[in-house]
Amino acid sequence: MPVHDHQLHEGESLREAARERLTRQGEQWTGMREAVFEALAGFDKPASAYDIAEAVSKAQERRVAANSVYRILDLFVGANLARRVESANAYVANSHPDCLHDCIFLICDNCGQAIHIDNDRITGGVRDAAKDAGFTEARPVIEVRGTCGDCDTD
C-alpha cells in the first residue's frame, strides 16, 4: 500500500467533509445524524454510544436513546466518518473521512486517550499476512495499549 497524504479536518470543515462524504454515498445528512456527529467530534477521547446519546440529549433537551445512536455510529463507521476503538467499545470521529486507510490506535490505559496514527508500512505488512492466509479485503485495525506521554510523566 503506497504512502499517502490526506487533509485533516476539524470544526466546521470536519462537519462539512463528513456531510459531503455521507451524501456522496447516497445517504441523507439528517438533523439527528448531524447532532450525533457533532457530539462525537466534540469528545477529546473515544466516546461510547451512551456518552454520545447523553451529549445529544442535553443539546436537544430531550432524551435520545443509545440504540438510535448505535445505528447512526454503525452507518458512520461504514461511511468512514468514524472509527471504532474495539477494546474500549467506543468511537472517534475520523478527521479525514475522504481517505480510506487502515487504522492504528495508541490507547492510554490510564486516561483513555486514543491517538490515531497512519503507518501504511505496518498495516501493509498485516494486509500481506492476511492475504497469505487467504483473507481478501482485509482492513487492519491495530490497537496498542500502554501509557501516553502525558500520563507517563506522572
- Looking at 93, 114, 141, which one is the last position of a domain? 93
10 Å CB burial of residue 82 (0-12, 13-18, 19+) is buried
Query: For residue range 71-111, what is the model confidence (pLDDT) as tens digits?
Result: 999 999 999 899 999 888 999 998 877 776 677 889 999 99
85 contacts 91 by C-beta, under 8 angstroms? yes
Q: Indicate whether 2 belongs to any domain.
A: no
pLDDT band at 39 (very low <50, low <70, confident <90, very high): very high
Enclosing domain of residue 143:
103-152
Q: What percent of the chain has pLDDT over 90?
A: 57
Q: Indicate whether 6 belongs to any domain.
A: no
Q: Which of 35, 42, 36, 25 is nearest to 79 (CA)?
A: 25
Q: Indicate whether 143 belongs to any domain.
A: yes
Q: Average pLDDT of the chain?
A: 87
Residues 46 and 113 reside in one and the same domain: no
Q: Indicate whether 1 belongs to any domain.
A: no
Residue 73 to residue 80: CA distance in whole angstroms: 10
